[in-house]
Amino acid sequence: MNAAMNVAPLILTDAEREWAYESALQLMIGADVQFKRFGKQPQGVNQERFHVALDELLMARTSRKGASNSVLGKMIHAIEAGDIGTAREALSEALELPQGVRRAFIEQAEGLLRPFAADGVIADQEDSL
């Protein structure tokens, strides 16, 4: 199982869930999620960490029993050829997730961000003072 999914479940408030979701969307568009509370060190998740979590997800899904042996080759070939539609189809085939690729990626991002949610909400409140 990948690192983002190995995080212990946290009980989050509505504000913390919203912060994690909105911050996950920031990771999805290519932005790092960084914040700083008064008197504390900066915290957050950068793109490299998010990409590692996505890589772990892809490797876990492609190594499962019954997974295609050629789907990664199909995906990188389609990317190189500029055929984004086929690349997306191959990614969907590789992941074979019922909730869909985008939702799976957002869930990975949220899993990375949940441990920071309480401080993230407080930092947002501190910033608005």
Query: Looking at the domain assignment, is residue 3 inside a domain?
Result: no
Average pLDDT over residues 124-129: 92
Farthest-apart Cα atoms in the chain, separation? 55
Give the angle subtended at the CA of 75 by the CAs of 73 and 76, to the nearest 5°.
Answer: 70
With 70 as the cut, is the pLDDT of residue 114 above it? yes
Q: From residue 93, give the alpha-carbon distance in Å to each of 25, 68, 96, 105.
A: 23, 8, 5, 15
Which pLDDT score is estimated for 1?
A: 45
CA dist., res. 3 & res. 69, Å (int): 24
With 80 as the cut, is the pLDDT of residue 117 above it? yes
* 45 membership: H or E segment, kind and range: strand 43-45
pLDDT digits (tens, 9 = 90+) for 63-113: 999 888 999 999 999 999 999 999 999 999 999 988 889 999 999 999 999
Query: Looking at the domain assignment, is residue 35 inside a domain?
Result: no
Average pLDDT over residues 53-57: 96
pTM of the predicted structure, to 2 decimals: 0.86
Work out how many domains the chain is built from and give that number: 1
Q: Which two tokens mark 74? A: 């199909």
The DSSP bridge pattern shows strands 33-35 and 43-45 to be: antiparallel
pLDDT digits (tens, 9 = 90+) for 22-31: 999 999 999 9
Q: Which domain holds residue 21?
A: 14-27+43-124
* 41 membership: H or E segment, kind and range: none
Query: Looking at the domain assignment, is residue 80 inside a domain?
Result: yes
Q: From residue 2, give the alpha-carbon distance in Å to each of 41, 48, 74.
A: 26, 15, 23
CA dist., res. 32 & res. 127, Å (int): 18
pLDDT digits (tens, 9 = 90+) for 3-45: 555 555 679 999 999 999 999 999 999 999 999 999 999 999 9
Query: Looking at the domain assignment, is residue 32 inside a domain?
Result: no
Query: Looking at the domain assignment, is residue 79 inside a domain?
Result: yes
